Amino acid sequence: MTQSSDHAPFGIDPRGPRFGATITAVLLIIVVLLGLTEPLGATLVDRWLQPSALLLTVLVVLFAWGAFAGIQKHPYGLLYRALLAPRLGPPSEREDPAPPTFAQLVGLIVTGVGLALHLAGVPWALVIAASAAFIAAFLNAAVAFCLGCQLYVLFVRAGIIRRRSAPA
């Protein structure tokens, strides 16, 4: 999954997704805390306009951006490359972008389902989904364990998805 920086410059700096996971974890814990203090809301509009639902909607959009545009074009990655990467030394290794991009899809599914269930009036759906996504983001940010990346590897090994070939 990783490639030494001595080779062609394939892959991404693994510190970029960790930076993004840190921002995501902070935003998700805010969603959880807000969701714990807000009433469910009587109507769909009431539920959608709650601060927790609005913030989770933003995160769903960001997960979709990463999943469909690719991790290299995600706003957090662009921010990392513009602000932090120039101040750091080059990465000791590079990472295949496919697993973190797949992890964005997993985040999209978890938060998207939680948001949809919340909007449908299911109690605690938003808090549970945001909590699950927070755990994954926190693990990536704190100890570089990407749960979605591990799912990607398992799905490739099981033949459920095909590994994307590396660019030449």
Does 113 map to a domain? Answer: yes
Does 33 map to a domain? Answer: yes
**What would the pLDDT profile of 2-28 be if each residue is shown by its tens digit?**
443 333 357 899 999 999 999 999 999
4 three-state secondary structure: strand
Phi, psi of 12 (to 5 degrees): -115, 160
**What would the pLDDT profile of 113-144 be if each residue is shown by its tens digit?**
999 999 999 999 999 999 999 999 999 999 99
How many Cα neighbours within 13 Å face the side chain of 32?
14
Please report the pLDDT score of residue 75 as a whole number.
94
> How confident is the prediction for the chain on average, in pLDDT?
90
Please report the pLDDT score of residue 72 as a whole number.
86
If one counts the domains in the chain, the total is: 1
Does 164 map to a domain? Answer: no
Q: Give the span between the Cα atoms of 66 and 100, in whole angstroms.
A: 9
Does 1 map to a domain? Answer: no
Residue 101 corresponds to which tokens in the numbers above? 């991009």
Does 4 map to a domain? Answer: no
For residue 166, pLDDT over 90 is answered with: no
User: CB within 8 A of 168, min separation 6: which ones?
Assistant: none
Does 163 map to a domain? Answer: no
Does 21 map to a domain? Answer: yes
Please report the pLDDT score of residue 165 as a whole number.
54
**What would the pLDDT profile of 34-77 be if each residue is shown by its tens digit?**
999 999 888 999 999 999 999 999 999 999 999 999 888 999 98
* Range of the structural domain that residue 118 is part of: 13-88+95-157
Please report the pLDDT score of residue 64 as a whole number.
98
